[in-house]
Structure 1
């Protein structure tokens, strides 16, 4: 089992529902990857994986959970020099208001 040759910061978001936004604050340019449980397992083994995000050149950035499930955020410096500090914040989105019929 191969592991990534670079260090990364991992945030386990646990179970999240679709539509929740994640705000990631960085101190430098870094890669930000929002991924499912299965894709995170592939990432840790340095295998091909899928993610939402990419190179974050500004901070903070926001990513939205596309479907309910267990999610992970990874911040890494692959392809970049130096180090980047990071923090995340889960932003609860308001439920869609339901209209009721007047009698």
Structure 2
């Protein structure tokens, strides 16, 4: 089985509600990719996959969970000099979010 040919750090975010914000702190420029379980599986198998995020040039970077479900976060060094040290904080979605009327 193929594996990505670059180093990465995987965070299993488990079940998250839509609107939850994921804050990622990095000590260097790296890619930050937020993805669903099936897309994480495709990532590990070196297949095409979809994600939210991209190159994080500043820290911290914040990404919002678009829909409730199980989510994964990858910090990787593809295209960069090395794997950044990273820390992830989950910021709960506000209770009773107000919708535009």
TM-score after normalising by structure 1: 0.91
Cα-to-partner distance string for 1:49-89 (whole Å, 9 max, x where unaligned): 00000000000000000000000000000000123100000
Moved over 4 A (4+): none
Structure 2 counterpart of 1:41: 41
Structure 2 gap segments, 5+ residues each: none
Choose 1 or 2 for highest CA Rg: 1
Conservation of the 8 A alpha-carbon contact between 2:17 and 2:69:
yes
SS in 1 for 2:22: strand
Q: CA deviation at 1:96?
A: 2.5
* Aligned-partner Cα distance in 1 for 2:24–2:97: 27
Asked if the contact 2:18/2:93 (under 8 Å) is kept, the reply is: no
**TM-score (structure 2 length as normaliser):** 0.93
After the TM superposition, which residues 4-83 of structure 1 pair with which residues of structure 2 at under 5 Å, given as runs?
A: 4-83=4-83
Unaligned runs of 5+ in 1: 99-103
Q: How many aligned residue pairs are there?
A: 98
